[in-house]
């Protein structure tokens, strides 16, 4: 087999199970690619190559003996470095935790290992999932494989860059204000923020307790669905975990979308936060394509992005301050400038601010629920612009908040971001699909219909 680095997780797992592909062969190809490309991308903070190759040899022996651990047997995965992997540092890309070695796997990591996946190592993130891209930390920020002068999105930056560049087929990210969907948008891959509580966060360093989600990042919709099937499930050790029936998310991927009602939230990118014209054109193309596939497109109105953003900001920064206040009082100089500034803002919100934001949050949840009573799925912008240059603080500051992802951290509804096209400058454009709580299967169905029609799963960055 050639181009093993572009092989999907699903195809690799099937080939390994059929004894047509050796896990060692796959691991060797990926480690070679990582060695060659990661110095340009900085996706890894800690590559655990020896342990990964040992695990590949074990997986090969088990596969040859007909003993498969699960649906991801022998498939490598990258882990965002706010998630614990036993024996490896969990640094959160910060000097504060550079010597913090995990003693046990996070539940999400444990589930992937239980399904047969092999951990490659820990991936770059924005500091504590909020401060980046930063150049004043012990490690450099990750870069976008479509153009390494550009931002890969954050905070799951190494996850997005590594998946898009073919360093691994799947990775874990976290999403508090869009941190799975931002890199998915900037790097042209598929990232889902599942329904709040669907995936355990135990063993994941928190940013904001009531907004945090863990989600899969992959190059294809099918891989994303497969990965979420492994990750989903109630965890009594996570206070936010939801007790819900386990679903098989891949079942509807081959079904058509005829008769499905899709609500297009045009005012997000046309009025609330006018998008780059190429983004607007791409979103209209997605809507027309889904209509040609048999879906019914309706215009839907929600509260404004300003309202969603204000609620998200008060809750996120207040909860982040509650977590970081002791370190910020004792060791402020050990934070990067961006993380320090963003977290310190939470010290100035009052209890009244926080309570009022939570009250308004309930009204926003009701508004999205009402919209999803009229349609099956919502379609809207993810990023309002293609990725900006990573070395321009002014451009990063200007574009970072120009997005429509935070509404669905506020409400907890599942939201998936993926490629909508490629800009004239050669950078990915993106679209977001949003569903009813625990209706990820419908999101995957719509996303797969778009992927098939547009061939987004066949588009890779020009990095060789």
Beta strands in 84-205 (DSSP E): 118-123, 170-175, 190-193
Q: What is the helix, strand, coil percentage profile of the chain, to 5?
A: 45, 15, 40
Active site annotation includes 155: yes
Placement of tokens 């019914």 in the chain = 296
Distance CA 209, CA 36 (A): 38
pLDDT computed for residue 247 by the predictor: 80
Question: Cα separation of 6 and 170, whole Å?
Answer: 11
Per domain, the residue ranges of the chain are: 11-458
Active site residue 185: no
**Whole-number pLDDT of residue 1:** 53
pLDDT value of residue 219: 98
Q: What is the arithmetic mean of pLDDT over 252-264?
A: 92
Helix axes 157-164, 23-41, angle to 10 degrees: 120
Task: Please determine, for residue 315, whether its predicted confidence score (pLDDT) is greater than 70.
Answer: yes
Q: Across residues 240-260, what is the average pLDDT?
A: 87
Rg of the chain (C-alpha set): 20
Q: Per CATH, which fold does 11-458 belong to?
A: Amidase signature (AS) enzymes (3.90.1300)
Rounded distance between C-alpha atoms, residue 131 and residue 210, angstroms: 19
Mean pLDDT of the 271-300 span: 98
Q: Reply yes or no on whether the pLDDT at 151 is more than 70.
A: yes
Exactly one of 10, 94, 124, 155 is catalytic; name it: 155
The catalytic position among 22, 80, 200, 382 is: 80
Structure confidence by residue, pLDDT tens digits, 55-86:
999 999 999 999 999 999 999 999 999 999 99
Q: Which two tokens stand for residue 305?
A: 């992005």
Total Cβ atoms within 10 A of residue 32: 12
pLDDT band at 362 (very low <50, low <70, confident <90, very high): very high
Could you tell me what percent of the chain has a pLDDT over 70? 100
Kindly tell me if the per-residue pLDDT of 246 is higher than 80: no
Average pLDDT along the chain: 97
Q: Indicate if the pLDDT at residue 2 is higher than 70.
A: no
Binned at pLDDT 50, 70 and 90, residue 133 comes out as: very high
Unique residue bearing structure tokens 């190759």: 53
Which residue among the candidates 157, 179, 200, 241 is catalytic per the annotation? 179
**Tokens 């109630």, residue?**
234
pLDDT in tens, 200-226: 999 999 999 999 999 999 999 999 999
**pLDDT at res. 301:** 98
Q: Average pLDDT, stretch 392-420?
A: 96
- Region at 457 (left for phi over 0; alpha for psi -120 to 50; beta for the rest): alpha
Identify the CA nearest to 402 among candidates 390, 417, 389, 387. Answer: 387
What tens digit of pLDDT does each residue of 13-30 get?
999 999 999 999 999 999
SS3 assignment, position 167: coil
Does the annotation count 179 as an active-site position?
Answer: yes
Position 251 scores a pLDDT of 78
Q: Name residue 173's beta-bridge partners.
A: 215
Longest dimension (CA), the chain: 62
């Amino acid at each position: 087999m050639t181009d093993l680095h572009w092989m999907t997780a699903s195809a690799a797992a099937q080939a390994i199970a059929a004894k047509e592909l050796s896990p060692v062969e796959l691991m060797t190809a990926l480690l070679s690619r990582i060695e060659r490309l990661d110095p340009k991308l900085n996706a890894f903070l800690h590559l655990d190559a020896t342990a990964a190759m040992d695990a590949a040899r074990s997986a090969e022996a088990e596969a040859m003996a007909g003993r498969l651990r699960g649906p991801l047997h022998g498939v490598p995965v990258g882990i965002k470095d706010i998630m614990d992997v036993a024996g490896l540092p969990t640094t959160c890309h910060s000097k504060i935790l550079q010597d913090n070695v995990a003693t046990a796997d996070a539940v999400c990591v444990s589930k992937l290992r239980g399904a047969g996946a092999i951990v490659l190592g820990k991936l770059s993130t924005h500091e504590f999932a909020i401060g980046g891209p930063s150049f004043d930390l012990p490690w450099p920020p990750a870069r976008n494989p479509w153009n390494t002068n550009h931002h890969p999105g954050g905070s799951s930056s190494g996850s997005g860059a590594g998946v898009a560049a073919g360093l691994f087929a799947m990775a874990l990210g976290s999403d508090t204000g869009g941190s799975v969907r931002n890199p998915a948008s900037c790097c042209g891959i598929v990232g889902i923020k599942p329904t709040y509580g669907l995936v355990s966060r135990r063993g994941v360093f928190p940013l904001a307790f009531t907004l945090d989600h863990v989600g899969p990042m992959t190059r294809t919709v099918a891989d994303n669905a497969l990965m979420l099937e492994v990750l989903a499930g109630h965890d009594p050790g996570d206070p936010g975990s939801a007790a819900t029936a386990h679903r098989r998310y891949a079942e509807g991927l081959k079904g058509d979308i005829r008769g499905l009602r899709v609500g297009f939230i045009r005012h997000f990118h046309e009025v609330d936060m006018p998008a780059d014209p190429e983004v607007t054109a791409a979103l209209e193309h997605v809507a027309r394509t889904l209509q040609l596939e048999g879906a019914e497109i309706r215009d839907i109105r929600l509260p404004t992005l300003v309202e969603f953003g204000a609620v998200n900001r008060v809750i996120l920064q207040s909860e982040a301050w509650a977590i970081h206040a002791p370190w910020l009082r004792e060791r402020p100089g050990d934070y990067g400038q961006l993380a320090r500034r963003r977290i310190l803002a939470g010290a100035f919100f009052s209890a009244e601010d926080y309570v009022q934001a939570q009250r308004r949050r309930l009204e926003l949840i009701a508004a999205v629920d009402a919209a999803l009573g009229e349609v099956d799925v919502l379609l809207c912008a993810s990023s309002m612009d293609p990725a900006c240059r990573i070395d321009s603080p002014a451009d990063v500051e200007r574009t970072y908040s120009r997005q429509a992802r935070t509404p669905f951290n506020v409400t907890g509804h599942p939201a998936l971001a993926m490629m909508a096209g490629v800009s004239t400058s050669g950078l990915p454009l993106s679209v977001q699909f949003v569903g009813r709580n625990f209706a990820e299967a419908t999101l995957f169905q719509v996303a797969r219909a778009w992927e098939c029609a547009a061939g987004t799963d066949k588009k890779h960055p020009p990095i060789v």
